[in-house]
Structure 1
């Protein structure tokens, strides 16, 4: 029997999203300083938005509101993926490092989709 979730901190999706944030901060430290207010800032903001919205949604006492925050987290995740792909295309990030982050993002995305489906009562 799974442990009871008493806090958003107990949720695997939040934990993985936090790990993704740490990884994004680590990789963006290696990007050119000229991107500090460009892609670095954008990637970090979108990454931090994912666990923040999971936490905020968890705090809501309304299922619909919770689902909406999870959808916002999904959008931020896709925004992050796009920033990472742009960094790769313009040559400030290597394929291997981006690939690892995209794999992490995919895992978080799958968990978000599963949670949204569970909350909506649909299995598909």
Structure 2
């Protein structure tokens, strides 16, 4: 019986194995110029769900154009995360170059205000996230 249960649970757990855990902050406009696309805003998602990769994910610019689905897990501020919400973002910049306090503090990813507000309250300066490539 236990072996049958294991075989039933494995397919449910496999999608979780591709996700990473990290932190996210938000950053505000102007969003151009970017390290990925310079002054070309045509590469941005039309809904403004952009992101800047942290030092660990930047990989000398290889992150440019990558897409991730991001979910808020928790925050030090209560009631910050929007339950069950996810957002798809496109990497357009390097977080270290943004100049914001949160992005310079080593967050995994900095989300545009449009992206951040879909998964968490903008009042929270930092959230814990789960993110996976699309």
TM-score above 0.5: no
- Tell me the TM-score normalised to structure 2 length: 0.26
Greater percentage in helix:
1
Larger radius of gyration between Structure 1 and Structure 2: 2
Greater percentage in strand:
2
Asked which structure has the greater RCO (Cα within 8 Å, sep 6+), the reply is 2
- Tell me the TM-score normalised to structure 1 length: 0.27
